[in-house]
Amino acid sequence: MPVPVGMPPEELADVVTQEATNHVPFPIAEANLDWFQMNATERTDPDGVRRVDVILAAIQHSIVESYWRMADAAGVKLGKVEVSSLSVIRGLALAGYLGSSGHISMVVNIRQDATDINIVRSAMPLFGRSIILGVEALTEAVARSLDISFDQAMELLPEIPVFNITPTDTRMGQAGQVARAVFSDIGDEVLRSLDFYRSQVGDVKIDHILLSGPGCMLPNMHEFFASKLRAKTVLADPLRDMIVDERQITERMRPILAALIGSSIESTWNPSITVDMDLNKEGRIPLGLDQNRTQNIFEEVETVKAPRWFKPGLVAAIFSTVVVFGSYLYLTLLDLPLTQTAIEKSTSAIATSKTDLTRLKKEKEENAVLLKRKALLDRLVGGIKHYSNYMDVVRENTPRGIQLTELNIGDEELKVDGAAVDFSAVGNLSVSLGTSPAISESNIEYASRPEKQPGIVAFSLKAKLTKTKPASEQSKPPATPINTALINSEVTRNE
């Protein structure tokens, strides 16, 4: 993470801890944190501010405690706890593999459960990622392929021919194919990591690729990766500048010890500046019942002679306690039951009142509905005679050959839908309705022969109503003549 250059240590600690909450996938209160300011990355950003990168590491308390218990079982004290990939870089820097300023290397550490891929410049990590593919995955693949146990497959690993070695039998040849498939996947991830880094910073030249970790126990590993990656590949030897007992440490074991050497040395021993972090700085997590704790939990309590007022004060405290306890009994056994009974009665009365209110509200709503129904019935009963007049008009003026399918009577308009044997019947209906004193005007909306029933004429007719009195109380005025030819021509156009 980038931070401004020159930030005070206390402020830097607060910033890093706050930023860690955005990256650490578990509560910060349950984590051991450590960070390192990489001065080699100091730069001026586009906004004109000088910044430097800080690398952050975190581990859960429970994991560190498990390391402590393993150390207890082995009879030793747990020392530094740090990231394995950073330990490997420190160990290889001590052996002189990471070169001088500007020297860029790729460190591929094939561990038991994963593989760490780091791009390093002058012993400082520039880019890093881990893939869940390591020696355990290789061993399981070999065990499945040869139908043997995991332990048997582990014993075969140092003899599996990976590259440029003739297998001793078909069984070893099959194991070699499996190993090449696994390491080919690792090589693909190395190339993807390099391509991603180049997409971020531009084209860079990798001087060499360093292999380390338990995965290097297979013969000719470096030749396989050199062929796969088309780059100079070296089996890292963190002990190459040290004098060791060859009987204790074989040639094949040397690449495996890179992380161990890096964690064991002091940072001042290294000729290059490397990242140095310790996730066990504060020692073991304080546990009250743990005899092996490294921190004092309980402070020593000094024996102090009680002052003169202690006994009178104790008596007063006991008396106060008795009074409080007696008051509690009184409230619990006498006062509170009476209060509870009164509360229950009040609650019952409130519930009854709520029931009555609900019933009254329901009756009010029912009365409102009944009033609406009464108004509707009054309107219907009052309008029966009015609408009956118009229905009589329609019935009396409907000629033969007409079948009505729908009759709608409104306040000012009457609409008739139906079917006729021909267009002239529709015109006669319109003319007859127009001559009625109850209707002021009659017009044909449409008249046409449907495609599915061409033998009939479907029509719709609208007539404007006049406010008329019953036929018994008035005489019919002369009918307004209607041009039948005009109606027939309009029907023909609609058809």
Q: Which fold has domain 398-494?
A: Gyrase A; domain 2 (3.30.1360)
CA atoms of 237 and 96, how far apart (whole Å): 10
Helices 170-201, 221-229: axis angle to 10 degrees equals 50
β-partners of residue 407 are 416
In this structure, the number of other CB atoms found within 10 A of the CB of residue 53 comes to 18
φ, ψ for residue 118, nearest 5 deg: -130, 135
Asked whether 436 and 412 are in contact (CB, 8 A), the reply is: no
- What three-state secondary structure class fits 124? strand
C-alpha dihedral sign at 450, 454, 456, 457? positive
In this structure, the number of other CB atoms found within 10 A of the CB of residue 443 comes to 15
Identify the burial level of 285 via C-beta atoms within 10 angstroms of its C-beta, where 0-12 means exposed, 13-18 middle and 19 or more buried: middle
The CATH architecture one would assign to domain 1-82 is 2-Layer Sandwich (3.30)
For 422-482, give the DSSP string. Answer: SHHHHHHHHHHHHTSTTEEEEEEEEEE--SS-TTSEEEEEEEEE-----GGGSPPPPPPP-
147: phi > 0 → left, psi -120 to 50 → alpha, else beta; which? left
Determine the residue type at 243: I
CA atoms of 218 and 225, how far apart (whole Å): 12
Q: How far apart are the first and last CA of the chain?
A: 83
For 58-97, give the DSSP string. Answer: EEEHHHHHHHHHHHHHHT--------HHHHHHHHHHHTT-
- The C-alpha angle with vertex 195 and arms to 191 and 201, in degrees rounded to 5, equals 140
CATH of 83-276, one of 3.40.120.10, 3.30.420.40, 3.30.70.520, 1.10.3720.10: 3.30.420.40
Boundaries of every domain in the chain: 1-82, 83-276, 306-387, 398-494
- Per-residue pLDDT of the chain (495 residues), as tens digits, is 888 888 888 888 888 888 888 888 888 888 888 888 888 778 888 888 898 888 888 889 889 899 899 999 999 988 888 898 999 999 999 888 887 667 899 999 999 999 999 999 888 888 999 999 999 999 999 999 999 999 999 999 999 999 888 888 999 999 999 999 999 999 999 999 999 999 988 889 999 999 999 999 999 999 999 999 999 999 999 999 888 888 888 888 899 999 999 888 887 777 777 888 888 887 886 654 444 444 444 444 455 566 777 788 888 899 899 888 888 888 877 777 888 888 888 888 899 989 989 999 999 988 999 988 888 787 666 555 467 788 888 888 898 889 998 989 888 888 999 999 888 888 889 888 888 888 888 899 998 998 888 889 899 999 998 865 544 444 444 444 333 333 333 333 333
- Record the pTM: 0.56
Determine the residue type at 162: V
For 344-363, give the DSSP string. Answer: HHHHHHHHHHHHHHHHHHHH
CA atoms of 260 and 263, how far apart (whole Å): 5
For residue 463, the Cα-to-chain-centroid distance in whole angstroms is 67
For 185-235, give the DSSP string. Answer: HHHHHHHHHHHHHHHHH------EEEEESGGGGSTTHHHHHHHHHTS-EEE
Which pLDDT score, from 0 to 100, does residue 183 have? Answer: 95
- What three-state secondary structure class fits 120? strand
Which pLDDT score, from 0 to 100, does residue 384 have? Answer: 52
CA atoms of 133 and 32, how far apart (whole Å): 26
Residue whose token pair is 């399981």: 140
For residue 308, the Cα-to-chain-centroid distance in whole angstroms is 66
For 409-422, give the DSSP string. Answer: E-SSEEEEEEEESS
Determine the residue type at 82: E
Beta 208-212 vs 413-420: how paired, if at all? unpaired
